[in-house]
Amino acid sequence: MKSFAQLMHSRRSCRKFTQEKIDPEALSLVLNAALLSPSAKSRRSWHFVVVEDKNTLEKLADCKESGAALLKNAAVAVVVTANVAENDCWIEDCSIAALAMQLQAEDLGLGSCWVQVRNRGLNSGERAVDIVRGILNIPEGFDTLCILALGHKASELPLKNDDDAPWEQVHVGTF
């Protein structure tokens, strides 16, 4: 296991995956990281749809004009949804759960990439959230924040270094 600081330097958005499948135990650890993540008032109103079927991955890859094509070659996609009426902090809760999965994936040596769904769509005006709902039978009242692409990295991206951290955006005392 990497130190947390090493983990934060090594996690990069991985958009190219090998064809190797993800070990079920590793996938279970990734999902567990989401399920153990903090949520507002501990409501835990997220739901996660795990997709491994190639045909379904290809359909999800077309849910918006750009930035989702990488789902086509992912081993697994985890669709992060929540009951929005039940929780006014659903975006925060889903974001935390998604990042927890990304960090757990990195710790296992797996690559991941966040694919934004909320507020995205096709040029036709069709919303990505509705396209994803149709593909996966997600009930009305649930919205999708993002889809995490997961898989074995096809190549290693450079580690982040301290120059990548915009310290000028940290204001001590006052802005």
Q: Decide if residue 61 touches ligand FMN (CB under 6 A).
A: no
Residue with the two structure tokens 């593909």: 135
The two structure tokens encoding residue 49: 């749809």
Amino acid at 32: N
Shortest Cβ 87–ligand FMN spacing (Å): 18
Phi and psi for 112 in degrees, rounded to 5? -150, 155
Shortest Cβ 47–ligand FMN spacing (Å): 19
Separation of alpha carbons 45 and 41, rounded Å? 10
Within 95-154, which residues bind ligand FMN (CB under 6 A)? 113-116
Separation of alpha carbons 89 and 109, rounded Å? 30
Choose, by CB under 6 A, the member of 8, 43, 47, 67 that binds ligand FMN: 67
Nearer to ligand FMN, 47 or 118 (CB): 118
Choose, by CB under 6 A, the member of 8, 9, 10, 12 that binds ligand FMN: 12
Shortest Cβ 127–ligand FMN spacing (Å): 14
Sequence-ordered alpha helix ranges (H) in the chain: 4-10, 24-35, 54-61, 90-107, 128-136
How many residues lie near ligand FMN (CB under 6 A)? 9
Which residues bind to ligand FMN, rule: CB under 6 A?
A: 12-13, 15, 67, 70, 113-116
